[in-house]
Amino acid sequence: MPTSMNRRRALTAITLAITLGLMLPGRGFADELKKATLYKNPQCGCCAEYAKLLQQSGFDVQVVDTFDLPSVKREHGVPAALEGCHTTLVDGYVIEGHVPVDIVGRLLREKPAIKGISLPGMPMGAPGMVGEKAAPFTVYEISDEPNKVYATE
Digit-by-digit pLDDT tens for the chain (153 residues) are: 445 444 445 444 444 444 444 444 444 333 568 999 999 999 999 999 999 999 999 999 999 999 999 999 999 999 999 999 999 999 999 999 999 999 999 999 999 999 999 999 999 999 999 999 999 999 999 999 888 999 999
Kindly report the CATH number assigned to the domain that includes residue 115. Answer: 3.40.30
CB 127 within 8 A of CB 103: no
Question: What per-residue confidence (pLDDT) applies to 32?
Answer: 66
Task: Kindly state whether residue 25 falls inside one of the protein's structural domains.
Answer: no
Q: What are phi and psi of 36, to 5 degrees?
A: -135, 140
In sign, the C-alpha dihedral spanning 15, 31, 91, 54 is: positive
CA 22, 26, 32, 37 torsion-angle sign: negative
- Spatial neighbors of 137 by CB under 8 A, at least 6 apart, are 100, 119, 123, 126, 152, 153
Look at residue 27 and tell me if it is in a domain: no
Give me the domain span that covers residue 124. 32-152
Establish if 69 belongs to a structural domain.
yes
The verdict on residue 61 lying in a domain is yes
7 part of a folded domain: no
What's the distance, CA 11 to chain centroid?
26
Contacts of 100 (CB under 8 A, 6+ apart): 119, 126, 127, 137, 139, 153
Domain presence at residue 36? yes
Q: What 3-state DSSP class applies to 15? A: helix
Count of domains for the chain? 1
Where b means 16+ CB within 10 Å and e means fewer, 24-50 reads: bbebeeeeeebebebbbeeebebbbeb
